[in-house]
Amino acid sequence: RKKMGLLLLLIICRCAINSVKTHSVSKPNIILLMADDLGIGDLGCYGNRTLRTPNIDRLAEEGVTLTQHIAASPLCTPSRAAFLTGRYPVRSGMAAFSRVGVFLFSASSGGLPSEEITFSKLLKQKGYATALIGKWHLGMNCESSNDFCHHPHSHGFDYFYGLPVTNFRDCSPGQGSVFLKGVQKALVIPIQITGIALVSLAIVQYSGLLKVPFQALGYCLLIITISLVVLIFFFYHFRHLNCFLMRDHQIIQQPLSYENLTQRLTKEAMQFIGRNTDAPFLLVLSYLHVHTALYASENFKGKSKHGLYGDAVEEMDWSVGQILDVLEKHNLSDKTLVYFTSDQGAHVEEISSTGEVHGGYNGMYKGGKSTNWEGGIRVPGLFRWPGVVQAGAYIDEPTSNMDIFPTIVKLGDAQLPSDRIIDGHDLLPLLQGKVTRSKHEFLFHYCNAYLNAVRWHPGNSESVWKVFFFTPNFSPEDSNGCYDSHVCFCHGGFITRHDPPLLFDLSRDPEEKVPLTPETESRFYEILRVVHQAIDNHTRSLHAVPNQLSWDNLLWKPWLQLCCSSVFQSCYCDYESGGRPVEVQSG
Q: Which residues are marked as active site?
A: 76, 137
Q: Is 89 strand, coil or helix?
A: helix
User: For residues 190 and 32, what is the distance between their CA atoms, to the nearest angstrom?
Assistant: 46
Are the C-beta atoms of 280 and 129 separated by less than 8 Å? Answer: yes
Judge whether 77 and 94 are in contact, CB under 8 Å: yes
- b/e 197-217 (16+ beta carbons within 10 angstroms → b): eeeeeeeeeeeeeeeeeeeee
Helix or strand run (H / E) with residue 29? strand 29-35
Interatomic CA distance for residues 450 and 491, integer angstroms: 8
Helices 307-329 and 261-275 meet at what angle, rounded to 10? 20
Q: Identity (one letter) of the amino acid at 316?
A: M
* 27 vs 126: CA distance, rounded Å: 9
Preceding omega of 255 cis (within 30 degrees of 0): yes
Query: Cα–Cα distance between 167 and 414 in angstroms, integer?
Result: 33
Q: Which residues of 340-377 are buried (b: 16+ CB within 10 A; e: fewer)?
A: bbbbbbbbbbbbbeeeeebbbbbbebbbbbbbbbbbbb
Angstrom distance (rounded) from CA 500 to CA 532: 12
User: Rounded to the nearest 5°, which phi and psi values hold at 70?
Assistant: -115, 130
Integer Cα distance of 159 and 151 in angstroms = 11
Between the CA of residue 265 and those of 112, 235, 300, 442, 573, what are the distances in Å?
Answer: 23, 27, 16, 37, 19
How many helices (H) and strands (E) would you count in the chain? 14, 19
SS3 143: coil
